[in-house]
């Protein structure tokens, strides 16, 4: 969890202050920045002391000052992280009230504070979280509607100027406005998508799958609205929604999302990149849970060949493919081929981590099980024995 600090806003405010107030600003900024550095380095006692002093300085600016909202949020994040929830909740709530009064209920900074409060309540007061989460969803829907309306307005104007060539000079200004609007929209939408993803993940962590789905879908819609169709951020959004559906056991809904994410990653990064394998593996797990064993096997075999070519036969990615292929072969009743894949994975694991690494024990059990089913009992016993020795 990151501490909420707005450096650009702090600089802007400092330029508007009288000399005496600038001294207070300097003290507030000093405690805020020192608290942030201590927080990021894990020195939470020092961070708390500085944030509390930052809050004391911020109160001098008045009850509705944005610096007070920042200090409240920073200290709330720290209190929450240290499980001092009775102290944290009121701070988040006060920060929302300040931003709402200063900026309005539909300002991004206000919604960011609302999202922070929602994340806190998801862990501590779930009943309070749902209406707050709905507010964030409503805000995103309004921004998406606004974008459609703006796009339609520019489209109407462009059609008008095509019929009225005598207004060429006005058309130039409209084109400039359209370009500037597009750039601003892209930046703000991507920032909002990150915020929405974070809140969706918090919902998912506490098994609130319905609001998580709503939020992940909005994050995807935001990115679709401003990015090329093969952008990796869209692939990540598809993957997030796919993971959620897998957690719910809705593999039939996760499959097309993972498939599209994999296609984007292959096109944009290449088939041999680790990021691509994550999406291949996600699709493969969906296929396995849908009993599409032959398709899953072909998928992992293709990935195995690709990673052998890129990284050599001893890479971790090759090992991961070998393990999944072993699992598939077991489900298909082909224990001999499964043993071959597991055996190759064992050799790679030993090379990477050593012969007694804790992670090897489960793999040795898989290998032993495949060997036993293939009527290679002596070898199976040795694998099981090695796994027991590693576990102690």
pLDDT of residue 21: 52
Q: How long a stretch of residues is the chain?
A: 392
- The tokens describing 263, both together, are 């296609």
Higher pLDDT, 147 or 215: 215
What is the end-to-end Cα distance of the chain in Å, rounded?
A: 37
Token match 């920073």: residue?
74
* Same-fold call for 1-103 versus 292-392: yes
Determine the average pLDDT of the residues in 321-329: 96
Instruction: Measure the CA–CA gap between 303 and 319, rounded to whole angstroms.
Output: 11
pLDDT category of residue 163 using cuts at 50, 70 and 90: confident
pLDDT of residue 172: 84
pLDDT of residue 18: 42
pTM of the complete model: 0.83
Q: Which residues contact 105 (CB under 8 A, 6 or more apart)?
A: none
pLDDT category of residue 180 using cuts at 50, 70 and 90: confident
pLDDT of residue 157: 85
For domain 292-392, give the CATH superfamily: Tetratricopeptide repeat domain (1.25.40.10)
Q: Helices 66-81 and 108-124, interaxial angle, to 10°? A: 20
The structural domains of the chain, with segments of one domain joined by +, span 1-103, 292-392
Instruction: Measure the CA–CA gap between 135 and 129, rounded to whole angstroms.
Output: 10
Closest Cα partner for 70 from 133, 122, 10, 135? 10
User: Considering just the CA atoms, what is the radius of gyration of the chain in Å?
Assistant: 27
pLDDT single digits (tens) 294-319: 999 999 999 999 999 999 999 999 99
In whole numbers, what is the pLDDT of the chain averaged over residues? 90
pLDDT single digits (tens) 16-27: 444 445 558 899
Three-state SS letters, the chain: CCCCCCHHHHHHHHCCCCHHHHHHHHHHHHHHHHHHHHHHCCCHHHHHHHHHHHHHHHHHHCCCCHHHHHHHHHHHHHHHHCCCHHHHHHHHHHHHHHHHHHHCCCCHHHHHHHHHHHHHHHHHCHHHHHHHHHHHHHHHHHHHHHHHHHHHHHHHHHHHHHHCHHHHHHHHHHHHHHHHHHHHHHHHHHHHHHHHHHHHHHHHHCCCHHHHHHHHHHHHHHHHHHCCCCCHHHHHHHHHHHHHHHHHCCHHHHHHHHHHHHHHHHHHCCCCCHHHHHHHHHHHHHHHHCCCHHHHHHHHHHHHHHHHHHHCCCCHHHHHHHHHHHHHHHHHCCHHHHHHHHHHHHHHHHHHHCCCCCCHHHHHHHHHHHHHHCCCHHHHHHHHHHHHHHHC
Token match 């109407």: residue?
156
Secondary-structure class of domain 1-103 per CATH: mainly alpha
Instruction: Measure the CA–CA gap between 258 and 244, rounded to whole angstroms.
Output: 11
Residue 40 has pLDDT above 60, yes or no: yes
pLDDT single digits (tens) 42-97: 999 999 999 999 999 999 999 999 999 999 999 999 999 999 999 999 999 999 99
pLDDT of residue 1: 41
Instruction: Measure the CA–CA gap between 29 and 22, rounded to whole angstroms.
Output: 10
């Amino acid at each position: 969890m990151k501490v909420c600090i707005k450096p650009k806003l702090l600089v802007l405010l400092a330029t508007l202050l009288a000399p005496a107030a600038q001294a207070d600003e300097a003290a507030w900024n000093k405690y805020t920045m020192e608290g942030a550095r201590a927080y990021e380095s894990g020195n939470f006692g020092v961070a708390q002391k500085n944030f509390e002093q930052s809050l004391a300085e911020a109160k001098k600016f008045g009850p509705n000052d944005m610096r007070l909202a920042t200090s409240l949020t920073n200290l709330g994040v720290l209190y929450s992280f240290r499980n001092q929830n009775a102290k944290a909740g009121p701070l988040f709530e006060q920060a929302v009230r300040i931003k709402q009064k200063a900026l309005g209920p539909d300002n991004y900074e206000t919604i960011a504070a609302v999202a922070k409060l929602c994340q806190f309540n998801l862990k501590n007061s779930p009943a309070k979280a749902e209406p707050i989460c709905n507010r964030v969803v409503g805000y995103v829907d309004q921004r998406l509607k606004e974008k459609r309306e703006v796009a339609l307005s520019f489209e109407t104007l462009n059609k008008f100027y095509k019929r009225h060539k005598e207004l060429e000079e006005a058309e130039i200004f409209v084109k400039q406005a359209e370009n500037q609007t597009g750039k601003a929209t892209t930046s703000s939408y991507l920032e909002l998508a990150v915020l929405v993803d974070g809140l969706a993940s918090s919902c998912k962590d506490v098994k609130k799958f319905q609001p998580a789905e709503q939020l992940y879908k909005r994050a995807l819609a935001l990115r679709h609205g401003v990015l090329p169709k093969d952008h990796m951020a869209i692939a990540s959004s598809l993957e997030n929604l796919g993971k959620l559906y897998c957690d719910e056991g809705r593999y039939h809904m996760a499959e097309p999302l993972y498939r599209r994410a994999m296609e984007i990653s292959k096109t944009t990064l290449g088939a041999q990149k680790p990021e691509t394998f994550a999406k291949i593996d996600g699709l493969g797990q969906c296929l396995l849970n849908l009993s599409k064993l032959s398709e899953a096997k072909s998928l992992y075999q293709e990935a195995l060949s690709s990673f052998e070519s890129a990284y050599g036969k001893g890479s971790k990615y090759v090992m991961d493919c070998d393990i999944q292929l072993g699992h598939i072969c077991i489900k298909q009743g082909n224990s001999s081929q499964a043993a071959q894949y597991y055996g190759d994975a064992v050799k790679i694991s030993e090379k990477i981590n050593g012969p007694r690494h804790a992670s090897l024990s489960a793999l040795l059990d898989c290998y032993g099980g495949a060997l036993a089913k293939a009527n290679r009992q002596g070898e199976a016993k040795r694998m099981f024995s090695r796994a027991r020795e590693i576990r102690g």
